[in-house]
Chains A and B, each alone.
Chain A
Amino acid sequence: MIEGAKWRRWIFFYIPLCAFIFTLLFPFYWMLVTAVRPDSELYRPWSAPNYAPFWTSHPTLDHITYLLQETLFSTWMLNTLLISIAATLISLFCGLLAGYALSRLKFRFAGMLGTAIFITYLVPQTLLFIPLADIIRNFRLGDTPWALILTYPTFLIPFCTWLLMGYFKAIPRELEECARIDGAARWQAMLYIIFPIAVPGILSAGIFAFTLSWNEFIYALVFLSSPAEKTVSVGVTSELIRGDVFYWGSLMAGALLGSIPVAFVYSFFVEYYVAGLTGAVKG
């Protein structure tokens, strides 16, 4: 892609990319080193002569075993996974339909509705959780995954809708019109022509929605109470921070185990997302 001499590729591509990767991933390396570091090495100040921040000389699995055996970590992972998937699917479904309607159909108040959906996103969560608790109680959703599955879409739908509106607008109208001339109903054109083209957009909206559900904290804290119902971020902070004693090793292990598997899953999606794209543009 970059024309010219080899050094240009290094200067403009490899070096910056490596710098990005290093900066973005260094904290994860740090977590890994911390997670396997015995406490005696953990509590060594940076001015100490034998301080070796980048390496652990006597790695231990104690912190990880503690996390997996003494806490309900695997249950929390499962809860978080189910809740995030459900909330993402709901949000994508709503956002896809609403995004299509708002961007490609002509009707009165379209602009206003779009803005209205948008404005709901402005409502601050730190305030919202208090009256929201009322609704959760009235619907008897407290301490069930549904409390989160239904409330997460409130901040996911606006984004999904708007992001998808952007993608839909970029798709030429002629494609749809061709299908309609061939006899397809309007909804068929939407379902079979437009939606497949928007797959990259849908995927990035999905990744976004899933990720936000994955690391949401305050609703999960307030709406769930049984230890076995909790999500990763709430569970880990309630078990591994005891007053002013932090279980650093296990906390970091929890952070790693709670994010790296997701990245692996994403790596398949991202592949598909690029493939889907080339297909869409070239096809």
Chain B
Amino acid sequence: MARISRRELFKLSGGGALAARAGGIASILALKQAPAYAQATTLHWLRWNDFVPTSDALLLKEIVPECEKALGIKLTIEMINGNDIQARTTSAIQSGSGPDIICALNNWPQLYPESVVDVSDVAEEIGKAQGGYYDESKVVANDGKKWLAAPWCIVGALLAYRKSWFEEVGYPTGQFPQNWEQYRAAGKLLKANGHPMGQTLGHTFGDAPTYAYPYMWSFGGKEVQADGKTVVLNSKETTESVKFMTGFWKDAYDEGGLAWDDSSNNRAFLSGTCSCTLNGASIYLEAKRKPETYVTEKGTPLWQDILHAPLPKGAAGQFGYHLPMSNMLLAYSSNQKAAKEFLRWITSKEVYQKWFDTQQGYTVGATTIWEKDKLWEKDPVMLPFRTAARAGRFPGYEGPADRHAAEVLSKYIIIDMYAKAVQGMAAEDAVNWAHGEVASVHA
């Protein structure tokens, strides 16, 4: 560790940081005072608490001291529940004080364009050095003219399924239903065997939207046209998707799913009541971490019976919506220069690599270079995550991922459209209702 940090120290802090630090020490010596941390540059970074505890441990135990060594920045990392970040962001911006850098989920940077610093220099530099960003990362962090945030990572969302149970319904290892019809047929058989598929259509920020949006897109439905104004939700394609869903839900899904939150499908899958569900890699990694705790009905470790696959194809193609994260530098920060320096450092290949390794494939990098990483050679089950982000789209398609898209998303309109239909509302009425809501958001 020490060797790496020393190398980085020379490489990265050649310019301002080292000089500033030396100046700091010189002035301390001149004043004959004990070195006081108050005089060092401090940065406060707010993030969510990670699925992977070792990643958080790495940040706190290794990255923080290394950052101080390399950049002379005393870094404070605060981790809170992902759901609560927006409350903190809002009050920080409104009162003009708070964390210098906030790691935003989804397209939150688009909600606060007036309150963030243009980080185009950092983002462009990293993008160029690391093979360019995925569309999804770009669309949430770039407003078309400049970068509102520096992309950090993408949490892949794929179907986790039980190998043996899919074998029972005619899909030997390596094969998986390709389109929604096949998927539904397989689900019907699985449910008849007592192994329904599981999916939430509740108000959750993770699993419900990452399922509902790609499902709609694959049928050809979309919220708006490319101009971002003309609402076209009420289309033949959307109605078709809603109609298909109502039967599909009864045929294949665990009907308790309407109430599930982001953790329910993990529990259901790990306990062996669910054959297939859209999720991050958390189910598989958790099962692998505790092989004795999670076992199949035959008594074998559960993780050996899990595989991943993308959501099936529809008439309009095959899509995914993976959760992008990016770091916003807040305009009220008094340490903007240091903060940019820090962002450049932490997203640089060498430093990011350490964090990326601890993630075990849970998240993919925001740039395409990480597809080539040797991490993917370790575990073939994780392989589908490697390139998942390529098929990623973001809500608001085919318009920009702007505030309107975020409002539709945070009002759960698309999800509720399906939920209403599943609860018995006629497909046309559900689509009509959702169209009206989306239109009033864009009005």
Q: Which residues from chain A sit less than 8 Å from chain B, CB to CB?
A: 38-40, 43-45, 47-48, 129-131, 133-134, 136-137, 142, 218, 221-222, 225-227, 234, 237-239, 241-246
Do residues B84 and A244 form an inter-chain contact, with CB atoms below 8 A? no
Do residues B97 and A137 form an inter-chain contact, with CB atoms below 8 A? yes
Q: How far is the CA of A38 from the CA of B293 in the complex (A)?
A: 8
Q: Would you call the interface of chain B mostly helix, strand, loop, or mixed?
A: mixed
13 contacts between A and B (CB under 8 A): A40-B292, A43-B267, A47-B273, A130-B94, A133-B95, A134-B95, A137-B96, A221-B88, A222-B88, A238-B81, A243-B50, A244-B207, A244-B262
Q: How far is the CA of A129 from the CA of B92 in the complex (A)?
A: 11
B 79-127 contacts with A by CB, 8 A: 79-82, 84, 87-88, 90-92, 94-99
Which residues of chain A come closer than 8 Å to B46, judged between CB atoms? 225
Which residues of chain B come closer than 8 Å to A234, judged between CB atoms? 80
A137-B96, A244-B282, A245-B286 known; A238+B88 contact, CB < 8 A: no
Q: How far is the CA of A59 from the CA of B15 in the complex (A)?
A: 58
Which residues of chain B come closer than 8 Å to A134, judged between CB atoms? 94-95
Do residues A39 and B280 form an inter-chain contact, with CB atoms below 8 A? no
Which residues of chain A come closer than 8 Å to B84, judged between CB atoms? 221, 237-238
Number of A-B residue pairs, CB cutoff 8 Å, is 98
Q: Which residues from chain B sit less than 8 Å from chain A, CB to CB?
A: 44, 46, 48-53, 76, 78-82, 84, 87-88, 90-92, 94-99, 155, 206-207, 262-263, 265-268, 270-273, 279-280, 282, 286, 290, 292-295
- Among B76, B81, B206, B294, max chain A CB count under 10 A is at B81
Do residues A237 and B81 form an inter-chain contact, with CB atoms below 8 A? yes
Do residues A242 and B50 form an inter-chain contact, with CB atoms below 8 A? yes
Do residues B94 and A133 form an inter-chain contact, with CB atoms below 8 A? yes
B52 to chain A: closest residue by CB:
A242
A222-B88, A237-B81 known; A243+B270 contact, CB < 8 A: no
Query: Which of B87, B94, B97, B279 is A221 in contact with, Cβ under 8 Å?
Result: B87
Q: How far is the CA of A77 from the CA of B327 in the complex (A)?
A: 32
Which residues of chain A come closer than 8 Å to B99, judged between CB atoms? 225
Which residues of chain A come closer than 8 Å to B91, judged between CB atoms? 129-130, 133, 222
B297 to chain A: closest residue by CB:
A48
A241 to chain B: closest residue by CB:
B81
Which residues of chain A come closer than 8 Å to B82, judged between CB atoms? 243
A45-B271, A238-B80, A245-B266 known; A39+B293 contact, CB < 8 A: yes
Which residues of chain A come closer than 8 Å to B92, judged between CB atoms? 133
Q: How far is the CA of A241 from the CA of B56 in the complex (A)?
A: 13
Do residues A43 and B95 form an inter-chain contact, with CB atoms below 8 A? no
* Closest 10 pairs between A and B when the two form their complex, measured CB to CB: A133-B91, A133-B95, A244-B262, A243-B51, A43-B271, A238-B80, A40-B293, A39-B293, A137-B95, A45-B273
B60 to chain A: closest residue by CB:
A227
Query: Which of B49, B51, B95 is A239 in contact with, Cβ under 8 Å?
Result: B49
Do residues A245 and B263 form an inter-chain contact, with CB atoms below 8 A? yes
Report the minimal beta-carbon distance from A99 to chain B, rounded to whole angstroms. Answer: 32
